[in-house]
Amino acid sequence: MSFFGKIRDALKKTKDGVSAKMRQLFLKNKLGDAFYDELEEILISADVSVRTAEDVIDQVKEEAIGQKVKDEQFVTDLLKDILEDTLNEAPVPELTYPCVIMFVGVNGVGKTTTIGKVANWFVRQGKTVTVAAADTFRAAAIDQLGVWAERAKVRIVKHEDGSDPAAVIFDAVSSAKARGTDVVLVDTAGRLHVKENLMKELQKMDRVVRREWPEAQFLKYLVLDATTGQNAMSQAKIFDEAVELDGIVLTKLDGTAKGGFVFSLCGELKIPVVFAGVGEKIDDLELFDAEQFVEGFF
């Protein structure tokens, strides 16, 4: 199934809710303040933040000035264009090789599983991949990453649980560099309840990569559970402050009835969505497509 097909199915709950409310809005309201206020409420009900919803509606009003807007399709198309532009405010960094990608995020968002899927995606692009099991605080995470590495047919570097995560990254990066590996994917711990220590660990790992393989592209991707909605915004802010995020991977898009927070991530925080996970299988992850996401939303 194509990305659009997967996104369409994943966002069906959101689309059904938004579309029904839009139809009701057009039946009972003509263009005016009340119309735009309710349109803004529809966006907010789909988990678009108040700030982003206000910005989008202001743009819709501005575009509609002087035009004879008579039907639902005109406003819907205008809204789609503006929301797509919002997603594109944060351009995705172009991948260059070799590259090291460090995945961060709180426990439970599907970080380790996502790394397995991303590894598989790179293999499908013909790249050689090493994964680094630097979430050493959970033995289960090391074992789980090993299972995904086997499924994706990629190499894994791991130490005993409780080891220094930076030492795992050092070994992974050093060996990948020596082997001429294209991509290193790094798993990390996600214990936000010890925020200060966690962020120091992430920053230490950041320094190791930059020191040991300065010529490699180094990216930091935050893994977010789409079902958490606006809570994802606060997570993104915390991790962005610590390590300056380059992108976001969304998981569990197929399990949410509210996907609107994605517009706020890109519009307010200027962090692009790179990958979207829309299922449990190893191939159920694709590059994020702004146009198709918006089409799936309405």
What pLDDT sits at residue 191?
67
**Which residue stretches of the chain are H helix?**
3-10, 12-28, 33-45, 50-64, 72-87, 111-124, 139-152, 165-179, 195-212, 231-243, 261-268, 290-297
Residue 290 · residue 265 · CB < 8 Å: no
Lowest mean pLDDT among 21-35, 72-86, 122-136: 21-35
Q: What are the pLDDT digits (tens) for 144-187? A: 999 999 999 999 999 998 899 999 999 999 999 999 999 999 99
Q: 256 Cβ partners below 8 Å, 6+ apart?
A: 13, 14, 226, 227, 229
Q: Are strands 217-225 and 99-104 parallel, antiparallel or unpaired?
A: parallel
What percentage of residues in the chain have a pLDDT greater than 90? 52
Binding-site residue numbers for GTP are 105-112, 187-191, 251-254
Angle at 54 between CA 264 and CA 40, to 5 degrees: 100
Q: Is CATH 3.20.20.70 correct for 99-245?
A: no
Residue 99 tokens, joined: 């590259």
Could you tell me which residue, 5 or 217, shows the higher pLDDT? 217
Binding site: residue ranges? 105-112, 187-191, 251-254
Hey, where are the domains in the chain?
99-245
Residue 274, CA distances (Å) to 32, 69, 118, 221, 249 in order: 37, 35, 11, 8, 6
How far is the C-alpha of 64 from the C-alpha of 283, rounded, in Å?
42
What is the per-residue pLDDT for 66? Answer: 61
Query: In this predicted model, what pLDDT tens digit does every residue of 209-261 receive, in sequence order?
Result: 999 999 999 999 999 998 888 888 889 998 898 889 999 999 987 766 668 89
- Which range has the top average pLDDT, 38-47, 141-150, 202-211? 141-150
Q: What is the pLDDT of residue 107?
A: 86
Longest dimension (CA), the chain: 67
Quick check: 195 pLDDT over 70? no
In the chain, the percentage of residues whose pLDDT exceeds 70 is 91
- List CB contacts of 40: < 8 A, sequence separation 6 or more: 53, 54, 56, 57
Mean pLDDT of the chain: 88
